[in-house]
Structure 1
Amino acid sequence: MADYPLIADHGLIGDLQTAALVATDGTIDWFCSPRFDSPSVFGALLDHGRGGHLRVHPTAEVVTSKQLYFPDTAILVTRFMTEEGVGEVVDFMPVSSSVVPSGRHRLVRMVRCVRGRMTFAIELAPRFDYGREDHETRVSEGGAVFRGPRTSLAAHLVREPGDEQLAEVRTDEEGDVNAHLTLTAGMMRGVVLETGATEAHEVRPAEVRRLFDETVHFWESWLAQSTYLGRWRETLHRSAITLKLMTYAPTGGLVAAPTAGLPEQVGGERNWDYRYTWIRDASFSVYSLLGLGFREEAAGFARWLRDRVQDQRADGEGPLRIMYRVDGSSDLSEEVLEHWEGYRRSSPVRIGNGAADQLQLDIYGEAIDSVYFADRHGIEAGHIGWLKVVDVLNWLADNWDQPEEGIWETRGGREDFTYGRLMSWVAFDRGIKLATRLGRPAPVDRWRHERDAVYNQIMRRGWSRERQAFVQHYRTQVLDASLLRMSNVGFVSPTDPMWDATLKAMDGELVTDSLVYRYDPEASPDGLRGSEGTFSLCTFTYVDALARAGHVTQARLTFEKMLTYANHLGLYSEEIALTGEQIGNFPQAFTHLALIDAALRLNTILDQTRPALRAQPLSTIPGQQPAPAAATGDGATGPAGGGAGAADTADATPAGWSTVPPGDVPPAG
């Protein structure tokens, strides 16, 4: 197990078409090219011996190493402290001004000595196509070229004319390249990788510095669009940069994560490929990015979504699939890499995603809600976009009342999932509001009828009198954290006794020291062996739900505690194990989206309540808690909207819960 770094011991770099992970020991152990969803060039993260890597590290014993991002950028600095000196490896990928897809991508590794004298070892061992494609290696004065039947990679040396800092470049029996680089304080050399190139040439340090300056300028200019000035500004900006890094610029699609196969339980089988664009994740990105002021990215997703809607899937399962490749295609056939052992022996390693053909009805609510939210912020769908909205809602009107696989992509069979029904209600509700607001032609009466039917069905069958809570699906008593969004979307008031009881039930069953599980897989079999950690997305959603329900102190404490689980760079994987270790694919877009939404909501409520607190003598404030704020919102999801009838209040007893009065609940269905 020692061969594998912790998942959290990585930073992310990228060029808006692909990305790489850099470990704290100076190893790039995950890099796919030319796209996020392309086969790997380096994959040691999933097989230490056969995956391939590029490592730059001091030959002297490292006393300690540190990583940080160059401020307000995606440029990663890995620092090494030794008895001989202090050195840095500065990693970045230049961002092209063009969004045209290209097989050529550059990955720059600037190697610097900042104090004393240091010798660095360079180990370059690519393994094309997940280690399945052989290659030949050719070394020249300018560097090295690795050529396979379908893939090529050039390593350009960064050096001055007549430079003797770099020792002889050697190849071993497997065609891997090794070299040593000795530097004194103030010197910078390194290597520039270029995918798709067939010749290696020397690169001058001045050219590398120019690329560095241009990359700094790109990220600083992009981040300058942010309008967020509230609490946790640096945290939210790091999440925004991370989300930008996971956006495929040519189409605007946001990948769920840049990795595949990282386990939800070390040694378990819950190892999925997340290098695709989910309708759900990308829809949530509209709320988060617009909430921070990034309009271009939100508009890009709107175009991406418009292009995905079709009249009917070939399998008859609706006008949208749950996920797509970054170019918009839908072939995501799943296969197992039998020759790879998996991260810390967690097999199988899967590429592709067999859940792509599942029926998940919630995606329609998330998609239409994002269209509605974007419209409220001045990004209109246009005539063609509106026609596609109508097509989606008309299909949903005919098909919402059926079993489906649900948001968590379980493989245990279809059920009548309450969350799928909830988001169907959202789809109709937002469609009605859009048609009314814009004066567009639509069968509004039919949509209103279906919306009300969904509402009544959830209240009859999704509520459990026994559990005093809304439950995962109609044939179970299991709780599900996805339903934390019920007040967020305006289905229930955050002060409704039924909702208060549901939060209380979740707090007792799904919440452990502020961290939140998705559901109990033992109580609700999902077709897979093993268990999983707490789901970081759900924890941030819990913060939002608590804040909306008036439990502001508890919400803030939960949020602040959750920030301590980020890695050293502020990045989050999908889940957190009992030990606090990050597990699952990394970094995960969904988690960072939920972080932004929770922070925006909490910041707004704190701004509303703190002035009221300061204006009152402490003796007049029960429990020294702020007084309730006025209700806001019109039922829109996202940081700028509140739930329908939502009261963003602060509770006098934030850690307490009310109970549902007898007779105030509907009969069990």
Structure 2
Amino acid sequence: MSQSLDLFPIGNCAASALIDRAGRFVWSCFPRVDGDPAFSALLGGDTQAERGFWAVEAEETASIRQAYLRNTPILSTEVTDVSGAVFQVIDFAPRYRQFGRVYRPMSFIRIVRPISGTPHIRIRMRPTGCWGAAEINMTTGSNHLRYVGGEMTLRLTTDAPVSHIASERLFRLEEPLVMFLGPDEGIEADLAATAERMLHETTAYWRSWVRTLSIHLEWQEAVIRAAITLKLCAHEETGAIVAALTTSIPEHEGSERNWDYRYCWLRDAYYVVQALNRLGAADMLENYLGFLRNLIDRAKGGHIQPLYGVGLEAELPETFAPDLPGYRGMGPVRVGNQAHEHLQHDVYGQIVLSTVQAFFDERLLRPATLDDFHALEAVGERAFLLHDRPDAGLWEFRGREAVHTYSSMMCWAACDRLGNAATKLGLRDRADVWNVRAAQIREVIEARAYNPELGRFAADFEGQGLDACLLQLVDVRFAAPDDPRMAATLAAVEEGLRRGPYMMRYVAPDDFGEPKTAFNICTFWLIEVLHLSGRTEEARGLFEEMLGRRTAAGLLSEDIALDGAELWGNYPQTYSLVGLINCANMLSRPWTSVR
């Protein structure tokens, strides 16, 4: 089966998995999202796809129909065989409130139900260990199978005949069966009744969460699916938010731009909480603020990295996994990310921008305090110190540094928003300090990032370069959309970086040559600025184009081919889903239009 990003994520903010169009688990890491993939077929290469998956198959399949249960990340896969017999597989990770806290085990449940006729099915469970290097040993008990390899031990508890699974035997499906995969722990309860109860309570949890969202009239289904998936990218135990659930999906064929995105980038997380805040999902913000407070305390006023592990790990050494060929055989497969060593000064702005709402938002269980403000001032001090210093930029260039306009703009935003927070707290002297500093950085940006000969802003100081991130000058409120300098910048960015309906990040060669795909979040940035510039009908057309490029799950990856034919890059990509939510909110007709 040819590999594709047409995948359905399931999860519970601890466990996550990707399921392909055949209903197979093809990607899932243990014991957490940045761990060892027990299901690694996504990176197994087309020639080695016979391991690293978990399948429930018909003897001969005629058709497959897949869809999420409404307003949940619970997946239904309905399989019809050549005789017309039908069975259904319900896949989910349990999540609901129990004993005063949220129950979210590192576990998955598959419920297999006969629907009509007499289906004959085969269950194939072929996990991997140590990134494909470890031999997996299977042992069986009376109602479970254990899979042991490397440092991983998984237990599959089931009411199906264990020998059928162990031998991958074809058998008649005459009544529903349940499989519960997780740590090596027994289940001392009626498995079928427990699974059905967990399904009911997990369904109720997600539908109740969706009801808390404040969404606009149009594109509701797309926004809800994006919001649910952003929540699945949270590692709730610590508050971290990962950039994507995968590693090493290339940005285009043969590019070697294969990165591990299963970590918490402060930049990406800022955009996630910003988008979910616009939907009223305060729970994600509040949990992420706890993650940030821990980082701020550890930094003690010093350097803060652009990314951390979901357990706040600072060291994320980048290595290779030679036993996995990679997506469609296009390695390398990377584990870890060298960007943790980078200087990326925009992170100080993103920390402040993520945090400042807590000084104003009365909904929060833990509003920001005076002590929080003083701790945040240390982040602002770094932003002010570094606003005109070179860094690797938000695209994390590995072979060059510059004073990037985007990074300097985010340092300005840090000082500007600290001034707002100080005013809210009644700290007039501190407000004056931060407002003066914001004004000083603004002067620097306007003098050094604006190119008077070209009549527009440039991507770096005293430069001429074009970068789609210049469109963010409007979103951060540094420039108004009707500012003539911004209009000229938009025109130049469109001319230089737009390819039909899609936007490149940049076109100048980098460490890996010339980029060959468009970057989805940049297209959404263009849509936002077009709307704010009065080109709303064009913006709506581009937005509908992007909606049409989503997978069957309603999601997007990081990149897209310039002809729009295929998605590339890690999946599901939080950046892209953030863009979808923000544009839908901005472009939708109001509810009053139908009342």
TM-score (norm 1): 0.82
- Name which of 26, 31, 55 aligns with 2:28: 31
Q: Give 3-state SS (helix, strand or coil) of 2:328's partner.
A: helix
CA change 1:310–1:413 in 2 (3 A) is: farther
Q: Deviations over 1:26-56 (max 9, x none)?
A: 2111111121111111111111427611111
Q: Deviations over 1:333-353 (max 9, x none)?
A: 110112221101211110101
2:94: which partner in 1? 94
Q: Which amino acid aligns with 1:388?
A: A
Q: Give 3-state SS (helix, strand or coil) of 2:42's partner.
A: coil
After TM superposition, the structure 1 stretch with the greater mean CA deviation from structure 2, 188-197 or 491-500, is: 188-197
Q: Give 3-state SS (helix, strand or coil) of 2:259's partner.
A: strand
CA change 1:475–1:339 in 2 (3 A) is: farther
Indicate whether 1:45 and 2:42 are aligned. Answer: yes
Q: Deviations over 1:410-435 (max 9, x none)?
A: 11221111111111111111111211
Counterpart contact for 1:268–1:530, Cα < 8 Å: no
CA change 1:446–1:438 in 2 (3 A) is: closer
- Name which of 489, 508, 512 aligns with 1:502: 489
- Corresponding pairs, count: 585
After TM superposition, the structure 1 stretch with the greater mean CA deviation from structure 2, 216-225 or 401-410, is: 216-225
Q: How far 1:200 moved relative to its partner?
A: 8.5
- Name which of 513, 519, 538 aligns with 1:554: 538
> CA separation in 2, counterparts of 1:228 and 1:102?
27
- Higher alpha-carbon Rg: 1
> CA separation in 2, counterparts of 1:179 and 1:435?
68
Matches within 5 A, 1:248-647: 248-310=235-297, 312=299, 318-378=302-362, 379=364, 380-440=367-427, 443-474=430-461, 476-520=463-507, 523=508, 525-529=509-513, 531-579=515-563, 580-603=565-588, 606-607=589-590
Structure 1: gaps of 5 or more residues: 160-165, 172-176, 612-669
Q: Which amino acid aligns with 2:357?
A: F
Counterpart contact for 2:78–2:86, Cα < 8 Å: yes
Q: How far 1:10 moved relative to its partner?
A: 0.8
Counterpart contact for 1:311–1:391, Cα < 8 Å: no
After TM superposition, the structure 1 stretch with the greater mean CA deviation from structure 2, 505-514 or 95-104, is: 95-104
Counterpart contact for 1:157–1:201, Cα < 8 Å: no
Q: Give 3-state SS (helix, strand or coil) of 2:249's partner.
A: strand
Q: How far 1:537 moved relative to its partner?
A: 1.0
Counterpart contact for 1:21–1:29, Cα < 8 Å: yes
Q: Which amino acid aligns with 1:45?
A: L
> CA separation in 2, counterparts of 1:136 and 1:449?
65
Q: How far 1:265 moved relative to its partner?
A: 1.2
Q: How far 1:458 moved relative to its partner?
A: 2.1
Counterpart contact for 2:94–2:103, Cα < 8 Å: no
Counterpart contact for 2:212–2:281, Cα < 8 Å: yes
Q: How far 1:101 moved relative to its partner?
A: 11
> CA separation in 2, counterparts of 1:440 and 1:111?
61
Q: Deviations over 1:45-70 (max 9, x none)?
A: 1114276111111111x233222100
CA change 1:210–1:545 in 2 (3 A) is: same
Q: Deviations over 1:633-663 (max 9, x none)?
A: xxxxxxxxxxxxxxxxxxxxxxxxxxxxxxx
- Name which of 172, 178, 185 aligns with 1:182: 172
Q: How far 1:269 moved relative to its partner?
A: 0.7
Counterpart contact for 2:109–2:181, Cα < 8 Å: yes
Higher helix share: 2
After TM superposition, the structure 1 stretch with the greater mean CA deviation from structure 2, 133-142 or 443-452, is: 443-452
Q: Deviations over 1:374-410 (max 9, x none)?
A: 4333353212211111111122222222100000111
Counterpart contact for 1:492–1:499, Cα < 8 Å: yes
Q: Which amino acid aligns with 1:267?
A: G
Matches within 5 A, 1:79-228: 79-84=78-83, 85-95=85-95, 97=97, 105-148=106-149, 150-159=151-160, 166=161, 168-169=163-164, 171=166, 178-184=168-174, 187-197=175-185, 204-228=191-215
Q: Give 3-state SS (helix, strand or coil) of 1:131's partner.
A: coil
Structure 2: gaps of 5 or more residues: none
1:667: which partner in 2? none
Q: How far 1:229 moved relative to its partner?
A: 4.1
Counterpart contact for 2:130–2:151, Cα < 8 Å: no
Q: Deviations over 1:445-473 (max 9, x none)?
A: 44334322322222222223454432211
Counterpart contact for 1:21–1:28, Cα < 8 Å: yes
Q: Deviations over 1:277-305 (max 9, x none)?
A: 11112122222122112112211112221
Q: Which amino acid aligns with 1:341?
A: P
> CA separation in 2, counterparts of 1:303 and 1:183?
47
Q: How far 1:443 moved relative to its partner?
A: 4.2
TM-score (norm 2): 0.92
1:15: which partner in 2? 12
CA change 1:446–1:204 in 2 (3 A) is: closer
CA change 1:442–1:204 in 2 (3 A) is: same
> CA separation in 2, counterparts of 1:90 and 1:131?
27
Q: How far 1:12 moved relative to its partner?
A: 0.4
CA change 1:136–1:63 in 2 (3 A) is: closer
> CA separation in 2, counterparts of 1:375 and 1:4?
50
Q: How far 1:502 moved relative to its partner?
A: 1.2
2:65: which partner in 1? 66
What is the aligned-residue RMSD (CA, Å)? 2.5
Counterpart contact for 1:260–1:274, Cα < 8 Å: yes
Q: Which amino acid aligns with 1:534?
A: A
CA change 1:536–1:578 in 2 (3 A) is: same
Identity, % of aligned positions: 31
Q: Which amino acid aligns with 1:26?
A: G
> CA separation in 1, counterparts of 2:165 and 2:397?
49
Q: How far 1:180 moved relative to its partner?
A: 2.7
Q: Deviations over 1:523-567 (max 9, x none)?
A: 2x3212453411111111211111112211111111111110111
Counterpart contact for 1:4–1:45, Cα < 8 Å: no
Counterpart contact for 2:471–2:529, Cα < 8 Å: yes
> CA separation in 1, counterparts of 2:374 and 2:15?
33
Q: How far 1:167 moved relative to its partner?
A: 8.5
Q: Give 3-state SS (helix, strand or coil) of 1:327's partner.
A: coil
